[in-house]
Amino acid sequence: MGSDPVSGARTPAIGERLELAGATERVRAVVAHPAFSYAAILAIQLRVVWGVWQDKDLTVGDTANYFVDVTSWAHGAHLNIVYNPLYSVIWGTILAVVHDVYAAATINRLAIVLLATVLVLATMRTLFAPALAFLIALWWAVVPQNFAVLYDVHLLGLILELVAVVVVARVPTRRGVGAALALLLADGLLVRTEMLLTTAMFALVILFAELRRRRSGVRAPAPVHLKAYAIPLAIALLLFAGAYWRSHIQGQTAREMLEAKQELNLCEAYAFNYQQRHPQRVPGNPFLECSAIMKHDFGRPMPSLTQAISANPRAMAGFFAWNVELLPAGSEVALFGATSSGKNPAYPPPRMHELYAGLLGLAALALILVGGALGAREARREERVRRWVGDRRWPLAVLATIVLGNLIVVIDQRPWAEYMYGVTIGLMVLVGMGATVLLQRRRLRWLTAPAAALAAVLVLALPSYYSPAPRPLYEGVSRLQPVAAALRRPGSVLVSGTNPTDLCFYLSRTYQGYCSGLDWSTLRALVASGTPLPAALSKAGATAIYADPGMVADPLLAPLLKAPRAAGWRQLAGGVGRYGPWRVLVPARPAPLRQ
């Protein structure tokens, strides 16, 4: 140690300072190396989701419905062109290889989550210094909304968007731009229909750039444009044509199904929104009552977006305004996994009234605003910021159109994190830009590499997000295998208290045959009102009963379980699981299936 000649304070010797600088440089070199960055981000994401293969259940709702198309692809190469055909191909191919519903679902989910995280890192590395890019990717990897997704098809849609950004960043020529446009088109045609809006906006950006080149005297021959734009777009259209060829839904039926899908999306989003604004008017399930709400406000049970706006513009304005009002809460959840407000911007409620989310949100906003202001000032005095933007103009253009298109969708639906991955990436990029300006101005860029290394170590030391939990769908699918063949016949009916409709979907093999699910609560109400249980089952045309532990404990079912033969049934399988006994019963003499 030496001493300051003015104050007398002890200061680090030159050798110590050089040694510290050398150590910092070595850390920076390690963090900047692609092998370390990608391996580390994969290890971190795996650590966060560790145990998902034994703790997470099969997904209910839309994903269960999609499984009919997944298994149709696995067992016959059939698709549904309306519902995310690329998703069905990927998951169905995995299912064809592993031959197990739960294993295929878990592999599909893990592959999507890991690939999305890797592409977030790749995207950020095209925009920022490697250490800062790693920190942003690490931020992405630990937010539950980015890996514990309800419907992983939403995350699949982001993957093609990020590939487009990376491609155009690595190949910032006409060919790269054309490939990015084709990727966005494929995303819209094969995964998420709403991405067609983003594709159209990016096509306009390309048209503007080409017209600007022509005005400046830079003209390219027609073959150059054909190679750059026509060939990639033709490949995307050929992939769509192939999916359409293998689709069992085509022509007018496909158009009607697409319209019905969009109308149902609007109906459910509007009803959920309406209940939030007027809870006293919709005390029950808004999804079950959505058609009645739409009939009341718009004169028809399932209007399209244009029909709804035309019929009642004031009501639709209130719907859009509420979604805009929810956007700050939705952004907090997307960025930090919780919101400081008491408003639910999603469907499944996130963590609310969390102070840390509000503080982090304010910090992120301050970083964006301060960094942006300083960057704008520097842009007037020097070329550094302009050069940074100019070198990245095409990936930034792709991101800008993704964010803008995503915002339109969010306002039309709701700011659920799974609907706004594009906005999430855009906000993270803005935070990264603000951080870059501030770190350069304060000469603190050397801090990012040690911070990235320390953050990686801390995350690896954290416990997994997942822990042992009930898996009723997984257990139901496994326990119903002895009767699965009968439940795949058209007209078959499964009675269960565990998501019977979803169980029917997961037991299917093709789109042509799967059972109908009848919830035990419906039959129970009939029995409680005096209808004998055997008569109720016969009238429903029940093919099988899956009595989970909750049903087994129901006294109204006890007589049938105790003496199934007396009621015309027999036990096919049974046992005692972690949460209690279960039974699978079938008719002693199977009745002919209803057509």
Give per-residue pLDDT as tens, 498-549: 899 999 999 999 998 899 999 999 999 998 898 999 999 999 999 999 999 9
Q: In the structure encoding, which two tokens stand for residue 221, read together?
A: 């021959």
Give the DSSP letter string of 371-390.
HHHHHHHHHHH-SHHHHHHH
pLDDT digits (tens, 9 = 90+) for 379-397: 666 666 677 777 789 999 9
The answer, yes or no, to whether residue 591 has pLDDT greater than 90, is no
Whether 20 shows a pLDDT value over 50: the answer reads: no
Say what the pTM is: 0.90
Q: In this predicted model, what pLDDT tens digit does every residue of 486-504 receive, in sequence order?
A: 999 989 999 999 899 999 9
Predicted pLDDT at 398: 96
Residue with the bigger pLDDT between 592 and 559: it is 559
The answer on pLDDT for 16 being more than 90 is no
Average pLDDT for 282-290: 87
Q: What is the pLDDT of residues 442-486, one digit of tens each?
A: 666 666 777 777 787 878 888 899 999 999 999 999 999 999 999
| Phi, psi dihedrals of residue 446, rounded to the nearest 5° | -65, -15
DSSP state of 226: I
Look at residue 583 and tell me whether its pLDDT is greater than 70.
Answer: yes
Q: Structure tokens of 397?
A: 């253009």
- pLDDT, residue 383, reads 65
> What's residue 228's pLDDT?
87
pLDDT of residue 4: 47
Phi and psi (nearest 5°) for 193?
A: -55, -35
Q: 581 has which bridge partners? A: 576
Q: Where are the alpha helices (DSSP H) in 445-574?
A: 448-461, 472-479, 484-487, 500-507, 520-528, 533-540, 549-552, 558-562
Location of structure tokens 């009745």: 591
Q: What strands, in cross-sheet order, belong to the sheet with 516-519?
A: 516-519, 493-496, 544-547, 580-587, 569-577
Report residue 595's pLDDT band, with 50, 70 and 90 as the boundaries: very low
Residue 7 has pLDDT above 50, yes or no: no
Region 569-586: what's the mean pLDDT?
Answer: 93
The answer on pLDDT for 38 being more than 90 is: yes
CA angle 345, 360, 131 (to 5 degrees): 115
For 31, the token pair is 């963090």
Q: Calculate the alpha carbon distances from 435 to 428, 432, 444 in Å.
A: 10, 5, 10
208-256 residue pLDDT tens: 988 888 888 767 777 887 888 999 999 999 999 999 999 999 999 999 9
Q: Does the pLDDT at position 13 exceed 60? A: no
220 touches 167 (CB < 8 A):
no
